[in-house]
Structure 1
Amino acid sequence: MSNFLEPKVTKNYKDEIRHIGFELEFANIEIEDVLSILEKKFGFNIKKVNNYLFKIDSKYGDFILELDFELLTQQKIPKNIKELSKKIGIEIKEEDIENIEKIIGELSKDIVPYEISTPPLPLNEVSIIHKIIKELAKNHAKGTKYKIYYAFGLHINIEVISLDVKSLLSYTRAYLILQNYINKDAKIDLARKITPFIDNFKDEYIKYVLDKSYNPSIDEFIEDYLKFNPTRNRSLDLLPILTFINEDKVRAKLPEEKIKPRPAFHYRLSNSMIGKEGWEISEEWNRWILVENLANDKESLNFLAKEYLTHLDNIINLSTWEGKVESWLNH
């Protein structure tokens, strides 16, 4: 796994090797150069959907490369212009529509990132994303911090080890305990912090879930999550896994949210630091391993849950919670 640390549990809920997916945002490189790298360096086959959306066939499954701008990838600009032309009774030529789309595409490239999404990769083959990033960086691709308005993220989709509520609860508790420490350790960019997309869980939900008396059924766990977190905008988004388990319940509560059901945690916190000297994507994965380790260590999980609840209830604390977590990690 190269520099990727291995989780304690390597098998999924079907007793097969776990899979991990990555979604990486970046800019400062032409899409044609990205396609050339994927085709020539890695032998992938390019399937063009439109000028801003490509499917890339590989032995792992389909990678997706797109300009992260729905107006272009879903070709809404041509559709909207055609509808407008009918309403106002003026015919707009197809080539003029294409030119308008190209102009918008060119103007947006400096503020809208490209995004490459991997298929679910077997745990023992995730180093392919490290190799792809290395090649992109060689060709001057850049991520967060390269420009003040580059609020680019890295999302990791981690296949669950079990669909049982006790396992999901352990992982949720582990993340709630560690979220502030991970946020600090990862030095999350200010441009991303001020957006709502990676909000931390609120104290009200943390206290509710860490209470030792909280022993929900799967339906109760889903209902409670939706009550406190009726949004995808959490640094750890549980909606994909909860929708995978009970789609009707989640859709009934959040009919407008765009949720892809999958048996995975959607970890959204990390910066995309492509192009930064010395940065490797394994650093971000290895922070998630802290969650894996704590979730599968019942004694430590119970101890830290009790400690964190005490910390949250105290009016005055002599040390930060992040500092306490760091001390525990180093003990």
Structure 2
Amino acid sequence: MDKLHTTLPRKYFWPLPAHSTTSQTPRRVGLEIEFAEISVDDAAELVRALWGGEIRPQGPRDTLVQGGRFGDVKIELDIALKTKWAEDIAAKALGDLVPVEIVTAPLMQSDLPHAQTLTNALRKAGAKGSRAALAYSFGLHLNPELPAPDGSGLVAVARAYALLEDWLRASDPIDPARNIIPFVDRWPTALVDALVAGRDWSVDDLAISYARLAPSRQYGLDLLPALEHLRPALLADVPDTQLKGGRPTFHYRLADARVDEHDWSIAYEWNRWVLIERVATTPDLMDALASDWTGHHASLISTRGDWVAQVESRLQRYPDLLRD
């Protein structure tokens, strides 16, 4: 039997599931795409050629393509230090190790194929991705809007991710260089345990526990922007340096940006995220995975590999997860 992740579509995008009767408005998603060996100016011209708009430089390392078909698009060298002079020195010293990043406006799900067209154009223009060089550590960040303005569905998605994270990492490992930089750490086991036990958690419960157990922006799924948007008063345990402003989105950083590889696609990475949300909206599967985790974590001899195999086996029993 094929591993489940190998059967995920790579040429079309699954829709996000509805989490409740309050989550029927089509949800948008912002994308951040990192790559090397194409300059900010050349990438901006490529975006303008595909999507229209006017190129408006914003500074020495970033520009804006304004007024195009899919909203404003920012293109920048992805480096953020305390001072501009330090950024200048680092950018010159590190060269292509500092990625160029394209940051889109929130896109309708129906417009995501145009993002795939963009990455195809980047590849043809010579852009290099995560695995093109040993020290590259480039990511594709997905910023899907929350299922509902009141936070409905957030806890379920957090629980699903907690239960699936090891499987996601093992089924298609991220580039080794990304494991030695911030922003893609695993969630702490204590947080996973709390989420598994917190079957009836509210958003308040999630905010309080996340602030206590994972008060950092460093994770493959960063919930601080969403929680700062929804429950800022409950994040007192989070250092100010980690609070960059709230917004009603998830911030998922686990995906590599393999823009130069012909068999890679944004659709594939997007569908991995949608799979998380499909699990979150399948209560009996969530209960089964939570029970599996409890037994796994209580065992003195189970390994992370054992857990990954358990998750794979459990997911294989739910063929509807792969429905188009």
TM-score band (shorter)? 0.7 to 0.9
Measured against aligned partners, the alpha-carbon deviations of 1:259-281 in whole angstroms (never above 9, x if no partner) come to 23111111111111110122111
2:275 to 272, 277, 290: 290
Task: Report deviation, 1:257.
Answer: 1.9
Say whether the 8 Å CA contact 1:192–1:198 is kept in structure 2.
Answer: yes
| Aligned positions of 1:89-238 closer than 5 A | 101=88, 105-164=91-150, 167-211=153-197, 214-238=199-223
Task: Report deviation, 1:231.
Answer: 0.1
Equivalent-residue separation in structure 2 for 1:112 and 1:226 (angstroms): 30
The answer as to 2:73 corresponding to 1:63 is: yes
**If the length of structure 1 is used for normalisation, what is the TM-score?**
0.85
Say whether the 8 Å CA contact 1:12–1:160 is kept in structure 2.
Answer: no
> Residue 160 of structure 2 aligns to a residue in which SS?
helix
Task: Report deviation, 1:290.
Answer: 1.4
Which residue of structure 2 lines up, in the alignment, with residue 46 of structure 1?
A: 55
Measured against aligned partners, the alpha-carbon deviations of 1:203-226 in whole angstroms (never above 9, x if no partner) come to 2111111015x5334323211110
Which residue of structure 2 lines up, in the alignment, with residue 261 of structure 1?
A: 246
Equivalent-residue separation in structure 2 for 1:125 and 1:10 (angstroms): 21
Measured against aligned partners, the alpha-carbon deviations of 1:53-80 in whole angstroms (never above 9, x if no partner) come to 1111223321110011235xx9722xx8
Equivalent-residue separation in structure 2 for 1:248 and 1:61 (angstroms): 32
The answer as to 2:243 corresponding to 1:243 is: no
> Which of 32-41 and 295-304 deviates more?
32-41
Say whether the 8 Å CA contact 2:131–2:258 is kept in structure 1.
Answer: yes
Measured against aligned partners, the alpha-carbon deviations of 1:234-260 in whole angstroms (never above 9, x if no partner) come to 111100110111234336733122423
Given residue 70 of structure 1, which amino acid in structure 2 is its aligned partner? A
Say whether the 8 Å CA contact 1:20–1:122 is kept in structure 2.
Answer: yes
Which residue of structure 1 lines up, in the alignment, with residue 291 of structure 2?
A: 306
| Aligned positions of 1:13-32 closer than 5 A | 15-32=24-41
Q: Runs of 5+ in structure 2 lacking a partner?
A: 1-9, 318-324
Say whether the 8 Å CA contact 2:142–2:251 is kept in structure 1.
Answer: yes
| Aligned positions of 1:260-279 closer than 5 A | 260-279=245-264
CA spacing shift, 1:16–1:110, aligned 2, 3 Å: same
Which residue of structure 1 lines up, in the alignment, with residue 4 of structure 2?
A: none
Task: Report deviation, 1:156.
Answer: 0.4
Equivalent-residue separation in structure 2 for 1:165 and 1:230 (angstroms): 19
Equivalent-residue separation in structure 2 for 1:10 and 1:63 (angstroms): 29
Say whether the 8 Å CA contact 2:19–2:281 is kept in structure 1.
Answer: no
Task: Report deviation, 1:13.
Answer: 5.6
Task: Report deviation, 1:195.
Answer: 2.2
Say whether the 8 Å CA contact 2:30–2:143 is kept in structure 1.
Answer: yes
**If the length of structure 2 is used for normalisation, what is the TM-score?**
0.86
Given residue 30 of structure 2, which amino acid in structure 1 is its aligned partner? G
Say whether the 8 Å CA contact 2:20–2:153 is kept in structure 1.
Answer: no
Say whether the 8 Å CA contact 1:11–1:17 is kept in structure 2.
Answer: no
Given residue 23 of structure 1, which amino acid in structure 2 is its aligned partner? E
**Greater radius of gyration (CA):** 1
Which residue of structure 1 lines up, in the alignment, with residue 17 of structure 2?
A: 8
CA spacing shift, 1:227–1:303, aligned 2, 3 Å: same
Equivalent-residue separation in structure 1 for 2:97 and 2:201 (angstroms): 44
Given residue 40 of structure 1, which amino acid in structure 2 is its aligned partner? A
Say whether the 8 Å CA contact 2:166–2:308 is kept in structure 1.
Answer: yes
> Which of 250-259 and 30-39 deviates more?
250-259
Number of aligned residues? 306
Say whether the 8 Å CA contact 1:12–1:162 is kept in structure 2.
Answer: no
> Residue 250 of structure 2 aligns to a residue in which SS?
strand
CA RMSD of aligned residues (A): 2.5
